[in-house]
Every structure is written in C-alpha cells, then in structure tokens.
C-alpha cells in the first residue's frame, strides 16, 4: 500500500502497473459525451433505415451503402480523437507509438474498408449478399473505435497524471 496526502487527508491506494480504473465524474461525463456524439452521428442513418423499413424490408437496409458510410465517419472521427489527444496535451507524445498503432489500426481496419465497401456497394448492380454481414460489422467496429479512442486517450492522460503525482510524492518524501 502506498499512502499519500491530499487536501489534508490521508488516503491509501494500492498501485499496480495500471492506472486506477475507478470511474469518476469526469470520466463519466466524457463517456456520456462520446455516446451522445455517436447517437447524433447515427441519427440520420436511423431515419433513413426506418424509412426504408417502412417501404420495403431489412434486406434493403443491409444492402445499401449507408452503414459503410456511417462506419467510415466514425472511423475518421476516431483518428481525429487520437490526434487531438496529442495536440491537447503535449505529454501524450510519450505514448506516440501506442497512438500511431491505434491510428494505423483504425485506418487499416475501419476507415479504408468502410469507404471502399461503400463505393463497391454503390457501383454494384446486384449487391453481393455478403454486404448484409460486412456492413453491420464495419459499423460496430466504427462505434468501438470511436468510443475506444476517447477512452484510450483519457486513460493515457490519467495514467500520465498519476505517474506525475507519484513522482511528486516520492520527491517530497
């Protein structure tokens, strides 16, 4: 157990190699904001899907390029969130390899396939039935990448500030 003083009180925290994962108000606000962004981005696609379901069937929704476009938008926003994490706090440059990996993975697994798949679906006269499975998968990956980018950036910032606090406490001792 490591003890430290904050605000005149004595607190005991057990530190492992990872940051403390207790949700606080700031983390919850960030998560709610992230999910609100996702819902706002997906709202027009939901309206289009409801309209198409009203006039035809589920197959028409799954065989259209809308899901791939939404996945591409979320993938692009995930890349922007990773980059903004570095721009907001220059201390994040310490994690540049992790962030470069996450950006590359998002571009490679979500952004490029989503945009390419949307184009292929638009150009195909009979759309292959595999589109019914791939497009929802790309959309789920896009949502995961966007929310994951916010969570990862927040976690790295929190980890960095926790290490700084530990270093200050050790130097004060």
Residue range 113-144, pLDDT digits in tens: 999 999 999 999 899 999 999 999 999 999 99
The per-residue pLDDT for 17 is 44
- Specify if 61 maps to a domain: yes
The per-residue pLDDT for 7 is 46
- Specify if 169 maps to a domain: no
Q: How far apart are CA 37 and CA 32, in angstroms?
A: 9
Domains contained in the chain, number: 1
Q: Which domain holds residue 77?
A: 24-157
- Specify if 35 maps to a domain: yes
The per-residue pLDDT for 9 is 43
The per-residue pLDDT for 6 is 43
Question: Are 138 and 109 spatial neighbours (Cβ–Cβ below 8 Å)?
Answer: no
Q: How far apart are CA 45 and CA 66, in angstroms?
A: 7
The per-residue pLDDT for 23 is 52
pTM of this structure: 0.76
- Specify if 69 maps to a domain: yes
- Specify if 173 maps to a domain: no
- Specify if 4 maps to a domain: no
Which residues, given as ranges, of the chain have pLDDT below 70?
1-24
- Specify if 10 maps to a domain: no
- Specify if 136 maps to a domain: yes
Question: Are 155 and 19 spatial neighbours (Cβ–Cβ below 8 Å)?
Answer: yes
């Amino acid at each position: 157990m490591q003890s430290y003083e904050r605000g005149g009180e004595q607190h005991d925290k057990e530190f492992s190699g990872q940051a403390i994962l207790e949700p606080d108000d700031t983390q919850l606000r960030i998560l709610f904001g992230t999910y609100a962004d996702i819902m706002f981005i997906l709202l027009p696609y939901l309206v289009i899907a409801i309209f198409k379901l009203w006039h035809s069937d589920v197959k028409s929704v799954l065989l259209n390029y809308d899901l791939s476009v939404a996945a591409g938008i979320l993938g692009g926003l995930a890349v922007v969130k990773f980059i903004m994490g570095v721009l907001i706090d220059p201390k994040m440059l310490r994690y540049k390899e992790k962030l470069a990996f996450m950006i590359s993975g998002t571009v490679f697994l979500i952004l490029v396939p989503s945009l390419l798949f949307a184009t292929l679906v638009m150009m195909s006269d009979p759309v292959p039935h595999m589109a019914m499975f791939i497009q929802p998968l790309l959309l789920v990956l896009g949502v995961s990448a966007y929310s994951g980018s916010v969570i990862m950036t927040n976690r790295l910032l929190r980890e960095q500030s926790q290490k700084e606090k530990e270093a200050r406490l050790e130097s004060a001792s």
